[in-house]
Structure 1
């Protein structure tokens, strides 16, 4: 690698111009990357509900109802006017109301009371609306303009529209705060006024190249868009700082700047690469999720850290050399105190901390797997938001409701009639819109309005629009989905299709719970393997992975003890991110300890290691925590907010365990570590030193 590094330092202009050009191109391409805000779009293509949706789109013009609109204080004629206005809104493909299931000309008192109460109650009309995919924002804005702020709308399409508009503004605000905090932390933890500027410039180049290169994926998820760049900054912050400090150390030994930089690159290569690779692999494990938000986030983050590593090893050396004089002239005293006293404090506490840690392993693991979960988008926006308040207003009057659409082979009206009766016998089914329910099997199709028929019968299938009294997710909803699927399968074995919000959420639950063990084991196994190869030790990878993985378990166990419900996507993603992003702290601590341990007794090695690594670990850990807490407190999107809180708390837990628990393990297992690590020879105390 020395020859490669020599080529880098001898071609500064080409490298500087090339990377700055790539960054500018990346910044330009970033606005062209499409962002997807719909969770159900990330279900695997072979999932039953995904296949059903695709088949329905091929057979029928109207999609699955995905919004509920309630207009209060209206008469039936006024409700019909509102229906027409909503139907005329851009992006709205269909609107269903009472007139679609009953003859609206007959007196309302003569209609079935349950059916009427599904659509019209206490002078409030409830419309079931279908909004086209990709047109949620314009449709929701248009509907809101029609009904006004005092009326309500909710549903998956509305949630997607709110996320599309709101997340963009929130991400910008979070990114600004995060960058300012990172800059402040760098000023506090470095000893040059120029160094923070160089580090931020390197990070900015890496982030812009990564953001622009996301165009190769055609689109990215809202999770990736919101968290990708700030996570890239937080986890790769240390690499440039470490290189600058190594360069300054080497410059004192070799006054030739280029030679000193090559020495610094050679000396820091192993530690930066091992830290970077474990982070990349932790993110890369997400690619093995079936639920495709995982691969989406994993690809972007793994690529981002890889690009950050390239920037550190290629761009940063020539940038540092180009600004070396400014670095030296802008030197100032350290704003941080010596951490020698902190090292002695930890030394006194570390053995009790190890005991507490060991006691906590089993309970935290069990509790982390015992949480209650939200799998879909129904609970993303809380009661403090406009969407949350609208949802509550509709549910207070009409109860929880969802619409499923079933499709069965056409032609056998007698079987369709039996199926309709069987579905009506399910208590949660409130109403059914189908050919046999609305028209009747005895009336020939040629006598009917073809526009009406086309909504219910295609060339190959008959369609049943089923309104159910159920939430979008939860145990009762999942039991209902199974019951309806079993009923459909009884009359049309393996030849039916069923779709809807609750159905997609059921499949989402089924898919992502199957991902949990696989993704975690891949992440743990891959990180373990990298540590095994880089550290050439059997014991150290076990200690490090156990330390950080326990921090993960404690982190995701906290909601269980608080009685809170967890968004499963946040839970699944944080398991890999926290391991990949914070195992660096443990690696840095371990490498310093083994280095010092070769020169001094284990007590002094522990104290000096803590004194040396605490500034670096605290900088990185605090930045990651603040980025997480910013995301957690500024985002109104439930998944992003919870992911942010997990990230903030998790990074602090990892930081605490590395500084207070890992030293105790190193001390207690000192001899075992030496025996199980290649080419490691610890310093041996003589009797006089022990006596002192």
Structure 2
């Protein structure tokens, strides 16, 4: 009796507090209306302040070598724009003429193509440039890809190629953000239509649909607008956050409005809104905790895209709750007369026949589910993951991906990689380059300051040291004049001892003498003929361009081509051999490229995968433990949803396809956190009905019938939203995420509406025995009463 009294006292205290809070919110509804109006206007103005990050490498851990190398490259080097262009159905002669036309475009620095008249192609194969009536041109721009000159140049290139069957593979004018934005506009329109149709089907009054839409739009605007507090968000989060927010939080508005409808039958609208809110706050808050738990697990990922998405979606859930709690009561009272006038018969059918089928097949379905559970675990653990966004297969492809696939189909693939090392002497760099070329057969070519060729026959490199005669020959200058320049160089650098020796034997690095001659010429320290002056300027400008790309203030960059795929065991092994070779010459080094980026993503995925799975289940389990006050129920609910996750991720293995690693990490957390609510709805109804219904089978049937409208509403929206994203967007990352989420949500709904009620019936006694506080009744209780 004492325990019951204490529990009743606590419940009464909680009810009193919630009623006071609800009364305050409803009484101040006009103020909240004004507040949300101002907040929406402010958030709309803040949307443009949010920077969108389009590169997943930005979210690598700070300790990742690729991330550190990219940061150094961004600060120290200029990366010129580049492009690969395949022109199909063209003769070699016409392709050669076309390459020269492209080269003449302002802003294009060079065009690589096979020309029999060029001396530097004597060791090249024509099949690398022309094959199967297709020509491959490799373009280098004069400036970085984001400059006006480069943008104008690529536009001119596209205009020139407009009459050809051309495939342009470049990031110079690639605008994923604009393309994705257009895709998401269409997706949001279609999702809004789906929401409207679903709400029309499940509603009891037409006015509730307008109220729901207002609440959804306001909460979405608040979430998007407040993203500026993070300064930037990823393109993944920016694209799908709004859709996921609606799908995950639609239950909140439905729960509150259904509570209001129940209370409105015997109270006026104001008092009904207060009483309904006092009950809904606890119910909605408890429901949201499972979803937030999944997001918290995401935020603990080593790969920081999890933090990005997790914090935005956590904020979305909180803002959705606050909008329901603070704005929706005002809207309900404001439109109370319209709500009463627009009531209609519910279109949601009774599914008691389905419930009976579920109950009667439990001894058939549960063994099948157990087998599917084991199989799903085994098969999902064998899935082959991919880490490069360009390797994802999507139904709708961008021009960028189409061009890449077309080029890879005809010509062998090669990846541009870079080695970043401290800026030291050129001889060490030359030794490293030689070692890379000789010891790693997968490397096609290596370019660094120490191996750039000069001279009429390219017999020297920029870092070679020459005497006056050799330098005079490659510069086409008078020998006596060159000797004077050498003496001037020696004197300016304070090397007076060399003046006492024969200057003919003195050697100066080519790059150092070019810098010196150009510097003195600019100071007008000596006069050169116009022809020689122009030659010196040209050589100096070429060297300066090379320096911008290969030599920074503290670091040097060596660029090489690796003829392996962008990911896979072979590619990762090649990258590791490069790292090992570089480490023999430098204590500090960074190997950067798609291969190393994907290798580090692979490494972090293995850690994040285990972390997400364990933490999500742990967080959700703790919420369920306190929600149901039972040790057995959380295990049953998590097993059902985890089973749906395993089954979902076994599909790629069974279909022989690859799965993008990010889809697994994000969807597994969202699927567990969001769809566990469906299981809570059925379980909560079942436990409530078991208090008054002697037959557990009848309780399960009625629980399914009562929970169906809520589950079908939010579930349909999540499933349709996921599949729409996967079908419509051309961004492969978003498409993979959407398709995987849609399939996962659908499987979760199926299991919750079929397997979960069977588990509850079969383990009914265990549920009662594992309760911390006895509240339910078993069959024996009812028999005793009778």
Q: State the TM-score, normalized to the length of structure 2.
A: 0.80
Query: Could you report, residue by residue, the CA deviation over 1:394-420 in whole angstroms, capped at 9, with x for unpaired residues?
Result: 224431011112133344444333322
- Equivalent residue of 2:584, what SS? helix
Matches within 5 A, 1:648-667: 648-667=742-761
**Post-superposition offset of 1:538:** 1.2
**Post-superposition offset of 1:194:** 0.9
Considering only aligned residues, what root-mean-square deviation do their CA atoms show, in Å?
A: 2.9
CA distance in 2, matches of 1:686, 1:459: 82
- Equivalent residue of 1:346, what SS? helix
- Equivalent residue of 1:537, what SS? coil
* Greater shift in the superposed pair: 138-147 or 607-616: 138-147
CA distance in 2, matches of 1:86, 1:427: 37
- Residue in 2 aligned with 1:376? 388
**Post-superposition offset of 1:21:** 2.5
Is 1:82 the counterpart of 2:98? The answer is no
Query: Which of 706, 711, 714 in structure 2 is aligned with 1:620?
Result: 714
CA distance in 2, matches of 1:375, 1:644: 17
Is 1:442 the counterpart of 2:464? The answer is yes
Which 4+ residue blocks in structure 1 deviate beyond 6 angstroms? 119-122, 133-137, 686-692
- Equivalent residue of 1:361, what SS? helix
- Residue in 1 aligned with 2:446? 432
- Equivalent residue of 2:753, what SS? helix
In structure 1, list runs of 5 or more residues that go unmatched: 89-94
Q: 1:135 to 1:42 in 2, by over 3 A?
A: farther
Q: 1:123 to 1:296 in 2, by over 3 A?
A: closer
Query: Which of 16, 35, 45 in structure 1 is aligned with 2:62?
Result: 45
* 2:765–2:778 CA contact under 8 A, matched in 1: no
**Post-superposition offset of 1:476:** 2.1
Is 1:154 the counterpart of 2:169? The answer is yes
**Post-superposition offset of 1:485:** 1.0
- Residue in 2 aligned with 1:5? 22
Query: Which of 546, 568, 592 in structure 2 is aligned with 1:474?
Result: 568
- Residue in 1 aligned with 2:3? none
Q: 1:128 to 1:546 in 2, by over 3 A?
A: farther
- Residue in 2 aligned with 1:300? 312
- Equivalent residue of 1:464, what SS? strand
**Post-superposition offset of 1:512:** 3.0
**Post-superposition offset of 1:147:** 4.4
Q: 1:107 to 1:309 in 2, by over 3 A?
A: same
CA distance in 2, matches of 1:116, 1:645: 42
In structure 2, list runs of 5 or more residues that go unmatched: 1-17, 454-460, 466-508, 515-538
Matches within 5 A, 1:206-605: 206-252=219-265, 254-380=266-392, 385-425=398-438, 426-439=440-453, 440=461, 441-443=463-465, 444=509, 445-448=511-514, 449-453=539-543, 454=547, 455-492=549-586, 494-601=587-694, 602-605=696-699
**Post-superposition offset of 1:10:** 0.9
CA distance in 2, matches of 1:513, 1:485: 21
- Residue in 1 aligned with 2:488? none
CA distance in 1, matches of 2:298, 2:714: 23
Length, aligned pairs only: 677
Q: 1:456 to 1:220 in 2, by over 3 A?
A: closer
User: Rg bigger for which structure?
Assistant: 2
Q: 1:515 to 1:280 in 2, by over 3 A?
A: same
Query: Could you report, residue by residue, the CA deviation over 1:232-258 in whole angstroms, capped at 9, with x for unpaired residues?
Result: 111111111111111121233x42433
Q: State the TM-score, normalized to the length of structure 1.
A: 0.91
CA distance in 2, matches of 1:178, 1:12: 30
- Equivalent residue of 2:445, what SS? strand
**Post-superposition offset of 1:115:** 7.8
CA distance in 2, matches of 1:135, 1:356: 61
Q: 1:84 to 1:216 in 2, by over 3 A?
A: farther
Q: 1:513 to 1:184 in 2, by over 3 A?
A: same
* 1:551–1:657 CA contact under 8 A, matched in 2: yes
Q: 1:87 to 1:502 in 2, by over 3 A?
A: farther
CA distance in 2, matches of 1:362, 1:130: 58
**Post-superposition offset of 1:578:** 0.8
CA distance in 2, matches of 1:81, 1:687: 91
CA distance in 2, matches of 1:279, 1:302: 8
- Residue in 2 aligned with 1:91? none
CA distance in 1, matches of 2:581, 2:63: 22
**Post-superposition offset of 1:677:** 1.5
**Post-superposition offset of 1:262:** 2.4
- Residue in 2 aligned with 1:92? none
CA distance in 2, matches of 1:591, 1:143: 64
